[in-house]
Amino acid sequence: MPTKVDKLATPLKKLASLLFWLTLVQGIGCSKQLNSEELEYQPTFCSSPVPIDVSRIDSAEFAAVVDEVRKEFSDKSGISVVLFNKEHILAGYQSGPALDDLEVDKESAFYIASSTKSLVATTVLKLYEKGVVDLDTPIGQYLADLHFDSWLLSEDKITLRHLLTHDTGISSKALEIRTSITGEYDRSTLMRLYGEASGSFLTPQYSNLNYILTGLILEEVTGRTWQQLLATELFEPLGMERSFTYWPDALEQNIAVPHTMDANRNLYAVPKELTALRTNTLFPSGGVIASATDLARYVQLFLNCGEVNGKPFLSPETIELAVSPLAENKGGGLHEYFGFGLGWEIAKHDDLILTLHNGSNKVGARAYMGFAPDLGIGLVILLNENIVTPYVEGAIAEFAWDRLRDAQAAEKNLQANLDAWIAKADARFLGRMDGRQYPVFDYPSQSFPDVPLRVFEGTYTSDEYGTVKVSVQGDQLKVEYGNMVSQRVKRITADQFVGDFLIEAQQIEFDVSNGKATEVKFIAMGIAFERSRR
């Protein structure tokens, strides 16, 4: 029988929710406030274009600088770079390993990770102009089975506009792990976990979850997957013939497969079998494989104010809306970020405004895609490794933007920054290797006869995080957690192990009671699973 406290709880929750939303609407709305200088920035490149004199761009010089940067960092990854205006590729560079024995060329497709978000947002804008979806309709009207438990979130307040500008605050470790790592989910699980998500409109943050939810809305409204929509609404009209949303399709082509490094900095390709498995973690938040030339075609859509081959594709008003700072962005990185547009991030490089969306993945991917509206120039940098390459990307991007504005400054800044970047890259590399090649692998496995390995065998489950299967293979454990399958496992104490899951190591700890393990924990991830009784 409900107590007096129980009877009081629901009205109090409703009252608190009402006060919260009244404060939000009267105060800051659903966006964090930008400072006055940033609010003054309004893109006008469609109505008042200021094209740069492209004669200052020397393609041979550009290629020589990329070569120099790669030598400084001993970078041997696959790379494709294109610098372009609204009509032509002005400079380019391709080199390094792609697939099997093939080298990267102009048509090599790379996994672009989070840069996918921009392409998805533009697809939404195309559907918006067709009247299929509305940017300001509450998402609860699109997803009848979405119900947030938290009174700080509301399916009756959040809209597609909020999702595309990361202005929701939705947070869920369980959703992040299932969608980006393990691939353990179905639609009902996703909707349940969204309902259990934390966060609030008062603390908006960049999150993959906003775009995964966008994909669910698109499928619900159109009856087609986000992959199908990108193919028909974006790739085909723009002539993006080297763009894919399925690994198996891409692996049949000359794609620049992800690479990583061993502890001696030897570059090697991530096995194709593992790459193909990760199809179940390719979402609208980061699921496209595309060539640099295809992405140049995509950015040229914006440089041409919505026209493709001289014909309207999106209106100039929609284009400028997409690249306007609609919500605050406090993200760090190469540039000074200050705003989120619809699928774009707005940043400053000194006094130059940039519109861009980068992407990265520890499996082995790095993407830089953007343009300077006031210069009418775009830049795409794709790499298939992500340990040293962030600094390679940074050096190339900063040189390109400096060179376009001031040739002398570009040379000076490049030389001044290279030493600092190399030092950071070395430190980052060592830290990454310490995390990936766990030091305990340098020591022999320990033996504990009183606690045999069979004690740990079994299936462990969590409503939030999924299922872990543990078995004995010869003289060691095998741990399977969705896409994460141990390559080797070493024992360091009676109940602690370290598993090498190819891309990174994980310390695993068991709770043992009465001669049987009752719980398994992944220490670094901070998640636990109870032994299944079935």
244-256 mean pLDDT: 88
Residue 289: the pLDDT is 96
Cβ-based neighbour number of residue 534 at 10 Å = 5
Query: How many residues are recorded in the chain?
Result: 534
Residue 256: pLDDT band by 50, 70, 90 thresholds? very high
347-354 mean pLDDT: 91
Residue 1: pLDDT band by 50, 70, 90 thresholds? very low
Residue 447: the pLDDT is 81
Per-residue pLDDT reduced to its tens digit, 267-296: 888 877 777 767 899 999 999 999 999 999
Cβ atoms of 357 and 351 within 8 Å: the answer is no
The structure tokens listed for 320 are 């400028």
Per-residue pLDDT reduced to its tens digit, 490-520: 898 899 998 888 667 788 999 999 889 999 9
Angle at alpha carbon of residue 24, lines to 19 and 28, rounded to 5°: 155
Q: Give the global pTM.
A: 0.90
Q: How far is CA 522 from CA 185, 468, 479, 533, in A?
A: 19, 10, 11, 20
Percent of the chain with pLDDT over 90: 58
The C-alpha atoms of residue 281 and residue 481 are separated, in whole angstroms, by 14
Q: How far is CA 319 from CA 160, 283, 342, 369, in A?
A: 17, 24, 9, 16
Residue 435: pLDDT band by 50, 70, 90 thresholds? very low
Per-residue pLDDT reduced to its tens digit, 473-487: 998 999 999 999 998
Q: Pick from 6-10, 38-42, 58-62, 133-137 the range whose average pLDDT is largest.
A: 133-137
Assign 190 to helix, strand or coil. Answer: helix
301-325 mean pLDDT: 96
Q: Is the pLDDT of residue 86 over 50?
A: yes
Q: Is the pLDDT of residue 13 over 50?
A: no
Residue 4: the pLDDT is 39
Per-residue pLDDT reduced to its tens digit, 212-243: 999 999 999 999 999 999 999 999 999 999 99
Per-residue pLDDT reduced to its tens digit, 376-423: 999 999 999 988 888 899 889 988 898 887 766 666 676 667 777 667
DSSP string, 292-351: HHHHHHHHHHHHTTTEETTEESS-HHHHHHHTS--EE----SSSEEEEE-SS-EEEEETT
Residue entry with tokens 């496995």 = 445
Assign 81 to helix, strand or coil. Answer: strand
Q: 78-82, 96-100, 356-360 — which is least confidently predicted? A: 96-100
Per-residue pLDDT reduced to its tens digit, 183-210: 999 999 999 999 999 998 767 789 999 9
Q: Is the pLDDT of residue 110 over 70?
A: yes
Residue 82: pLDDT band by 50, 70, 90 thresholds? very high
Residue 286: the pLDDT is 95
Q: Is the pLDDT of residue 429 over 70?
A: no
Residue 377: the pLDDT is 93
Name all domains of the chain by residue range, CATH numbers in brackets.
36-109+246-281+288-437 (3.40.710), 113-238 (3.40.710.10), 446-531 (2.40.128.600)
Q: Pick from 85-94, 122-131, 357-366 the range whose average pLDDT is largest.
A: 122-131
Per-residue pLDDT reduced to its tens digit, 61-79: 899 989 988 988 888 999 9
Q: What integer best gives the mean pLDDT of the chain?
A: 86
Cα 166 to the center of its chain, rounded Å: 13
Cβ within 8 Å of residue 169, ≥6 positions away: 152, 153, 199, 200, 201, 202, 203, 204, 205
Residue 101: pLDDT band by 50, 70, 90 thresholds? confident
Cβ within 8 Å of residue 180, ≥6 positions away: 208, 281, 283, 285, 286
The C-alpha atoms of residue 533 and residue 280 are separated, in whole angstroms, by 28
Residue 446: the pLDDT is 73
Percent of the chain with pLDDT over 70: 82
Q: Is the pLDDT of residue 155 over 70?
A: yes
Cβ-based neighbour number of residue 36 at 10 Å = 7
Residue 425: the pLDDT is 66
